[in-house]
């Protein structure tokens, strides 16, 4: 009789089990709800820290592309941490590129880096989506081959691994997913887009006009402001101090090789046409560092085609600081003061030391 009193009926066991499951589900929903509020609505530093910690477990989206493709908050934060590490570990003071991210202005500049990272991650994802739509695929063997080619350029595997770890906190797998794989998809899609768009004839004509102005004795800075695309045009061509691995491959031999650079010569790269002038040179840690200015005319074949494709996609950014501007096909700040701060920083920029983002 005593034993029978301690037996719990099966129905009661089921009720208790279901109650426990419901309680766990309610708790999970509550955690996700609180996390969402912190991730997308908090205005406090402690709230942002908690949200970042929760995003390591819960894949909150930082951007949604065509409803089914996501970029997570955690991935954005990981890349941002890599850039912070880069600036903290590199000797950038002499080049005027040291950034103290702990100051109020430094925090704003860090937000600009976060915006640039998010923009690049969206672009990489869009390129991957478009490449796959055209039937392109990248195998593990393709990635490994590309990595081997990179290793052959920059030294031994251990040298590259040590440099990635010390500069960015990355291992070789991080390098594959963050740099090599997107580069392969970009190259595939660039070749496809070249068949869909006009050639760079207009761009070549423009750079030849700039070259003629220089040969006629016109000041380099004036020619750069008149003809050069991008930030270099606004700054009279000034690029600041750069190392070999901070310039596009087609310029590396011309600038850092043993053969002197021919004055006012035009160099063609995958992104456009360049006339580069070396203003100064020095050694840092036994590495050549050059102070450059350039006149750059973009081919814009791929860039224009990609922008057109991006505008056809539905891109949504739920983060409170950023929004997607479909008219420009890029990420923008929601806050007007941050927009003005970014413009001011761009006008004073000497160059961007980070080569990954």
For residue 3, is it within any domain? no
* pLDDT attached to residue 1: 47
For residue 17, is it within any domain? yes
For residue 325, is it within any domain? yes
Q: pLDDT per residue over 292-346, tens digit each?
A: 899 998 876 687 788 888 888 999 999 889 999 988 889 999 999 999 999 887 7
- Do 218 and 149 reside in the same domain of the chain? no
* pLDDT attached to residue 126: 96
CATH code for the domain in which residue 180 is found: 1.10.4030
* pLDDT attached to residue 284: 83
Q: pLDDT per residue over 9-51, tens digit each?
A: 555 545 566 666 656 666 655 555 545 554 555 555 665 665 5
For residue 2, is it within any domain? no
Whole-structure pTM value: 0.62
* pLDDT attached to residue 115: 95
For residue 260, is it within any domain? yes
- Do 32 and 138 reside in the same domain of the chain? no
SS (H, E, C) the chain: CHHHHCCCCHHHHHHHHHHHHHHHHHHHHHHHHHHHHHHHHCCCHHHHHHHHHHHCCCCCEEEEECCCEEEEHHHHHHHHHHHHHHHHHCCCCCCCCCCCCCCHHHHHHHHHHHHHHHHHHHHHHHHHHHHHHCCCCCCHHHHHHHHHHHHHHHCCHHHHHHHHHHHHCCCHHHHHHHHHHHHHHHHHHHHHHHCCCCCCHHHHHHHHHHHHHHHCCCCHHHHHHHHCCCHHHHCCCEEEEECHHHCCHHHHHHHHCCCCCCCCCCEECCCEEEEEEEEEEEEECCEEEEEEEEEEEECCHHHHHHHHHHHCCCEECCCCCEEEECCCCEEEECCHHHHHHHHHHHHHCCCCCCCCC
End-of-domain residue from the set 54, 70, 86:
54
Share of the chain above pLDDT 70, in %: 75
For residue 184, is it within any domain? yes
Domain count, the chain: 3
* pLDDT attached to residue 220: 92
Domain coverage including residue 43? 8-54
**Residue stretches of the chain with pLDDT short of 70:** 1-57, 91-99, 154-155, 194-200, 231, 300-301, 347-357
* pLDDT attached to residue 353: 45
* pLDDT attached to residue 236: 84
* pLDDT attached to residue 9: 57
């Amino acid at each position: 009789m005593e034993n029978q009193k301690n037996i719990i009926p099966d129905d009661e066991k089921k009720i208790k089990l279901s109650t426990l499951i419901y309680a766990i589900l309610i708790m999970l929903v509550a955690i996700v709800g609180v996390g969402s509020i912190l991730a997308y609505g908090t205005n406090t530093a402690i709230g942002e820290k908690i949200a970042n910690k929760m995003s390591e477990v819960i894949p909150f989206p930082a951007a949604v592309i065509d409803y089914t493709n996501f970029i997570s908050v955690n991935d954005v934060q990981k890349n941002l941490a890599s850039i912070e590490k880069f600036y903290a570990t590199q000797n950038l003071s002499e080049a005027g590129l040291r950034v103290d991210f702990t100051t109020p202005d430094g925090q704003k500049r860090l937000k600009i880096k976060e915006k640039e990272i998010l923009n690049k991650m969206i672009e990489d994802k869009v390129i991957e989506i478009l490449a796959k739509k055209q039937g392109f695929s990248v195998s593990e063997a393709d990635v490994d081959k590309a990595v081997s080619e990179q290793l052959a350029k920059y030294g031994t595997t251990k040298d590259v691994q040590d440099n990635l770890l010390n500069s960015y906190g990355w291992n070789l797998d991080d390098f594959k997913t963050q740099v090599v794989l997107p580069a392969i998809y970009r190259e595939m899609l660039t070749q496809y887009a070249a068949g869909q768009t006009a050639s760079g004839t207009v761009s070549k004509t423009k750079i030849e006009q700039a070259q003629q102005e220089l040969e006629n004795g016109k000041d380099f800075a004036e020619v750069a402001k008149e003809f050069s695309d991008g930030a270099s045009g606004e700054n009279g061509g000034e690029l600041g101090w750069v190392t070999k691995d901070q310039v596009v491959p087609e310029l590396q031999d011309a600038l850092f090789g043993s053969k002197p650079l021919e004055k006012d010569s035009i160099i063609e790269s995958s992104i456009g046409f360049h006339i580069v002038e070396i203003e100064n040179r020095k050694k840092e840690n036994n590495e050549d560092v050059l102070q450059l200015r350039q006149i750059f005319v973009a081919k814009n074949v791929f860039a224009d085609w990609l922008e057109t494709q991006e505008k056809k996609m539905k891109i949504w950014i739920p983060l409170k600081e950023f929004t997607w501007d479909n008219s420009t096909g890029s990420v923008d700040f929601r806050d007007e003061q941050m927009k003005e701060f970014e413009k001011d920083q761009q006008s004073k920029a000497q160059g961007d030391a980070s080569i990954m983002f």
